[in-house]
Amino acid sequence: MKKAIVYVNQFFGQIGGEEKAGAAPEIHEGQIGPAMQFAKELEDAEVTHTIICGDNFMGSNTDEAVATILGMLEGKEMDIFLAGPAFQAGRYTVACGTICKAVKEKFGVPVVTSMNEETPGVDMFKKEMYILKGGNIASKMRQDVKAMANVANKLLKGEPVGDAETEGYFARGIRHQVWLEDGTPATVRMIDMLLKKLNGEPFKTELPMPKLDRVPIAPAIKDLGSAKIALLNTGGIVPVDNPDHIQSASATRWGRYNIADTEALKGGEYKTIHAGFDPAAADANPNVITPVDALKVLQKEGVFGSLHDYFYTTVGTGTTEAEARRMAQEIIPYLKEDGVDGVIMVST
C-alpha cells in the first residue's frame, strides 16, 4: 500500500491554540486531527505520519522550520504529501504552501493542500501545486478533506486530474489539449459562442482570462517635511471597551480613535482584539502594533510635518477582500477631509 504524510498546524495537531503558535516542528507516527479523516478518504494509501508545526514558528523561522521538516522526512516512505486544510487562516495557508513547495522540490512527490479563496496562500502558491478551493471555517473540514482526497487518489493511481472547475482546485495557468467527449469541433463551438454573444445570450468561454485587481501606485510625497501622515493598522488595537465592537476575526467593522493629545498608547487603556496572534505584547504596549509613540517623536524631530489626529483600526485575520475594500472606502473620506498626504499601514 502507498504511503501518505500529513502536515497540520498546532491547533489541528491538538497541541494547543495561539499560545502554542510558536511550537517547533514535531513528527508523530500515525494520524492526528485531520490525518484521521484523510486515512478514511484515501483509497490506496495509508497515512503513516503526522507533522505538526506552529504557525508563528513557520512564519518567523521559515528556513529553520522547512529544513527541520525535510530532515524528518528523510528516509520515510512517502508517495504523497498533504497539508491542511487551512480554511481562511492566513498564516496557516502560507505555511501549508511553503512546506508543500519544499517537499515537492526536495522529494519529487505530489503535494495537495486546501485554502479559502480569500487567503494570501492562494496567489502565492497556486501555480506550484494543487490547491483545492476550501471553506472559510473549520466546520467545512470533512468536505475539504474529501475534495483533497479525491485529487490525491487520482495522483496516487496515476490517473489524469481533471480541469480546475471540474476538480475544484484553483486554476494553475496550465493549459492542455483535450478531446471533448461529445466530439464537437472547435469551429462549431466557436460559432455557437459567437452567435450567443451577438444575441446577448449567456455563454461560457473556453479561454477565461484572469481578473486582476490592479491598484495604481501612488505618486511619491514631494516634501515629507511638510506632509501630514495618518496611521492605520489591521492589528485590532482598540480602547479596552472596544466601543465599535470590532470582530476579532472576519471583521466587518473598523474604528477611528483620537490621538491628538496622546504621546503614546498605554496598556490598560488600549488593547488588541485580534484573534490571530498572542495578544500579550500588544496588550502590554499597544505601540508595538500602532506606533503612536515613535511617530510623535519623528514629528517633533521634523521628519514629517504632522500626524493626523486619529488612528484607524480593524482586524485582518479572515477578513475578506470585499470587506477590506468597503472599509477602506469608508475611511478614505476622513483622510481626504483632513488633507492627509500619506498613510502608514501597520499589519501584524
Q: Is it the case that residue 174 has pLDDT exceeding 80? A: no
The contacts found for 17-21 with CB under 8 angstroms, 24 or more apart, are 18/275, 18/276, 18/277, 18/278, 19/278, 20/54, 21/54, 21/55, 21/56, 21/57, 21/91, 21/277, 21/278
Look at residues 94, 86, 106 and name the one whose alpha carbon lies nearest to residue 148. Answer: 86
Q: Give the residue carrying C-alpha cell 504621546.
A: 263
Q: What is the pLDDT of residues 39-66, one digit of tens each?
A: 999 998 999 999 999 999 998 899 999 9
pLDDT value of residue 32: 96
Helices (H) and strands (E) in the chain, counts: 11, 12
Q: Is it the case that residue 210 has pLDDT exceeding 70? A: no
pLDDT value of residue 245: 93
Task: Return the minimum-mean-pLDDT range out of 94-98, 158-162, 224-228.
Answer: 158-162
Of all residues in the chain, the percent with pLDDT exceeding 70 is 99
Give residue 25's pLDDT band: very low, low, confident or very high (50, 70, 90).
Answer: very high
| CA atoms of 312 and 252, how far apart (whole Å) | 14
pTM exceeding 0.95: no
**What average pLDDT does the structure give for the chain?**
92
pLDDT value of residue 276: 83
Give residue 215's pLDDT band: very low, low, confident or very high (50, 70, 90).
Answer: confident
Task: Return the minimum-mean-pLDDT range out of 108-122, 207-221, 321-335.
Answer: 207-221
Q: What is the pLDDT of residues 267-282, one digit of tens each?
A: 999 999 998 888 999 9
How far out from the chain centre does Cα 23 lie?
Answer: 20
132 contacts 144 by C-beta, under 8 angstroms: yes
Instruction: For residue 216, say if its preceding peptide bond is cis, omega within 30 degrees of 0.
Output: no
Main-chain dihedrals φ then ψ at residue 235, nearest 5 degrees: -95, 5
Q: What is the pLDDT of residues 70-114, one digit of tens each?
A: 999 999 999 999 999 999 888 899 999 999 999 999 999 999 999
Which cell goes with 174? 496550465
CB atoms within 10 A of CB 277: 20
